[in-house]
Amino acid sequence: MEIIITNDYEEMSEKAFEIILSVVKDNPQAVLGLATGTTPLGLYNKMIADHKLNGTSYKLIKTVNLDEYVGLDINNKQSYVYFMRKNLFDELDIDLKNTNIENGKADDAEAECNRYNALLKQMPQDIQLLGLGSNGHIAFNEPGTPFSTETHVVQLAESTIKDNSRLFERIEDVPSSAYTMGPKNIMTAKKILILASGANKAQTVNSMVNGEINEKCPASILQLHPDCVLIVDKEAAALL
């Protein structure tokens, strides 16, 4: 794992932007694996600013998102599909038909997981962006998820519901389950870019990088990826 330590969130976002931009420039039809959460927002703002200023085009770019809450769709502002449109897609020239995410309102969960796995096999990610959950989760793969798992429905850990409740009006509104790409789908990406910032991620960053490769820390699987870049600000890197 290549590790880049930055002074702050701003510099972390800038370095991440440089990597994403080089993927887009090398292949204007690239498949970008994208993530939600607060961590990638600085990067997304830089992609938008660059598109507006320099005209970098996303017309032929395809995207696959990591996860979505069960029961939520575009009509719900807490859904990840809404998050992606509002924070990125609506500001780029991307064709929404080329953007993919699990359907939180699917009638048949198993069929939805199969659909998403088939899609990911057809269009493997040229790069997969990841944030890091405070309990070591990547996407919504909670501790204990077998590394061989593909897209599935997960019951969210209590700590995740608590962490994510800051984005909902009431903790009761946080869905208890979600669709998520599995560790196996994430590891098929040609390149992985994981970002973390802030002191509250320091312990988890250290377990991911220096801990045993173990399903108790889902992010530790990234130690096995041949091309994984971790960009952390110095607060999140404090225990490395």
Question: In the bound complex, what is the minimum distance in angstroms from residue 57's beta carbon to ligand GLP?
Answer: 27
**Is 26 a residue of the active site?**
no
Q: Which residues of 49-62 are buried (b: 16+ CB within 10 A; e: fewer)?
A: ebbeeeebebeebb
Looking at residue 232, its amino acid is V
Give yes or no for residue 35 binding ligand GLP (CB under 6 A). yes
Give yes or no for residue 145 binding ligand GLP (CB under 6 A). no
Among 98, 141, 160, 220, binds ligand GLP (CB under 6 A): 160
Give yes or no for residue 32 binding ligand GLP (CB under 6 A). no
Q: Binding-site residue total for ligand GLP (CB under 6 A)?
A: 14
Please tell me the distance from the alpha carbon of residue 23 to that of residue 26, in angstroms, as a whole number.
Answer: 5
In sequence order, which ranges of the chain are alpha helices (DSSP H)? 9-26, 41-54, 80-87, 109-122, 158-164, 183-187, 202-210
Please tell me the distance from the alpha carbon of residue 70 to that of residue 88, in angstroms, as a whole number.
Answer: 22
Q: Which residues of 92-121 are buried (b: 16+ CB within 10 A; e: fewer)?
A: bebeeebbbbbbbbbeeeeebbebbbeebe
Contacts (CB under 6 A) with ligand GLP, residues 97-136: 131-133
**Is 135 a residue of the active site?**
yes
Task: Give the nearer residue to ligand GLP in terms of CB position, either 29 or 99.
Answer: 99
Task: Give the nearer residue to ligand GLP in terms of CB position, either 123 or 157.
Answer: 157
Give yes or no for residue 39 binding ligand GLP (CB under 6 A). yes
Catalytic residue among 65, 100, 135, 185: 135
Please tell me the distance from the alpha carbon of residue 203 to that of residue 19, in angstroms, as a whole number.
Answer: 25
Rule CB under 6 A: which residues touch ligand GLP? Answer: 35-39, 66-67, 131-133, 139-140, 160, 164
Question: Which residues are identified as catalytic?
Answer: 67, 135, 137, 142
